[in-house]
Structure 1
Amino acid sequence: MKFRDFRRVKAQPGLTAMIDIIFLLLIFFVLSSTFVLQPAIKIELPKTLTSQLPVRKEVVVIIARDKRVFINNKLTKYSEIFDRFQKESKIQPNGTVVIRADRDVAHGFVVKVMDIVKQAGFPNLAIATEPVNLEK
C-alpha cells in the first residue's frame, strides 16, 4: 500500500506582531528617556566652521553679556573665581575647562578669566562656539 507524501507546512513566527512589539518598545524608551537641558543663561556664542562638541567631562565656564561668571552653572563672583578653580583642579587635575562666553563680552575680560584658569592649575582650555549655518 502506498501512502501519500504529505508535506507539512512549517509554522513561521508572526512578523507583524513582532514588529508591533518592537515599535512599542521603541516608543516607550523614547518617551521615558530623560533629556539634558542647557542652563537658562542667555548667551550668544560666536559662530565658526570648525565647531566640535566636548567629548569628556569638563568644567564649564559661562560668561554672560553683563560679565557675570558661572562655573558649572553656579554664579561666582569675580574675586572668587581663582579659589573655585583651585577646588575644581583638585577634583579633576587634568580636566578641561570649556569657556562659553557671549560674543558681545569684551575680549580682555575673557582673556583675564582664561589666565585665572591657567593659574589655578587647568592646563587644557577650550572655547565653545556654534557652527555656521551655510544653508540659506
Structure 2
Amino acid sequence: MARSYVTPDDAEEDAAVDLTPMLDVVFIMLIFFIVTATFIKETGVEVNRPEASTAEQKDNVAVLVAINADNSVWMDGRRIDVLSVRANIERLHAENPNGGVVIQADELASMKTFTQVLDQAREVVPGSQIALATDDR
C-alpha cells in the first residue's frame, strides 16, 4: 500500500479560494444595472421655472427643451435656433417614440418664444405628450 504525503506547498494550493465565480457574478450584476438604468437628459442651462400649485410629475420624458431668460433655446446641452426646434425634437423623439416633450421655460422668457417652441413640438408629438415644467413651491 502506497502512502501519499502532503507537502506544505500542496496544502497551500488546496486552501486557496477561487474568486472567478464571484467576479463573474459581479460583472453580470454590473451589466444588468447598466442596461436597466435610465439616464437623465439635461438641457444644459439653468432655468428659473414659474411656480404652479397644480404641478404634476411627468414620467417617460424623451425630450427636454429649455428657454432661457434671454429667449435662447437649449437642447442636449447646446444652444439651437428657434426654427430648428422641430428637427431636433424629431431626432430625439425617434430614439424614444413613447416619451414626451417637456419645455422648461424661464419665468422671464417671452411668450412668443414659448409659443414657437410649443407649436413646433406639437407638429412632432401629440399635445397630450407635451408639458411645461414648473416649480411646485
Q: Is the shorter-chain TM-score for this pair beyond 0.5, marking a shared fold?
A: yes
Find the residue that maps to 1:130 and give its secondary structure. coil
Aligned to 1:110: 114
- Tell me, yes or no, if structure 1 residue 75 matches structure 2 residue 79: yes
1:104–1:96: structure 2 CA closer, same or farther, 3 Å change rule?
Answer: same
1:131–1:85: structure 2 CA closer, same or farther, 3 Å change rule?
Answer: same
CA deviation digits over 1:70-124, x for unaligned, max 9?
A: 11333212232221122123222232000000011111210111001111x2111
1:62–1:53: structure 2 CA closer, same or farther, 3 Å change rule?
Answer: same
Q: Alignment RMSD, CA only?
A: 2.2
Determine which of 128, 133, 137 is the counterpart of 1:128. 133
Q: Which runs of 5+ in 1 are unaligned?
A: 1-35
Partner AA of 2:107 in structure 1: R
1:60–1:81: structure 2 CA closer, same or farther, 3 Å change rule?
Answer: same
Contact 1:95–1:122 (8 Å) recurs in 2 = no
Q: What are the equivalent positions in structure 2 for 1:46-85 lying under 5 Å apart?
A: 46-85=50-89
Query: Greater share of helix residues, 1 or 2?
Result: 2
CA deviation digits over 1:37-60, x for unaligned, max 9?
A: 966623211101122233223211
Give the percent of matched residue pairs that are identical in Structure 1 and Structure 2. Answer: 22
Aligned to 1:100: 104
Aligned to 2:28: none
Partner AA of 2:134 in structure 1: T
1:45–1:110: structure 2 CA closer, same or farther, 3 Å change rule?
Answer: same
1:106–1:72: structure 2 CA closer, same or farther, 3 Å change rule?
Answer: same
Q: Which runs of 5+ in 2 are unaligned?
A: 1-39
TM-score for both structures, normalised by structure 1: 0.61
Find the residue that maps to 1:105 and give its secondary structure. coil
Aligned to 2:26: none
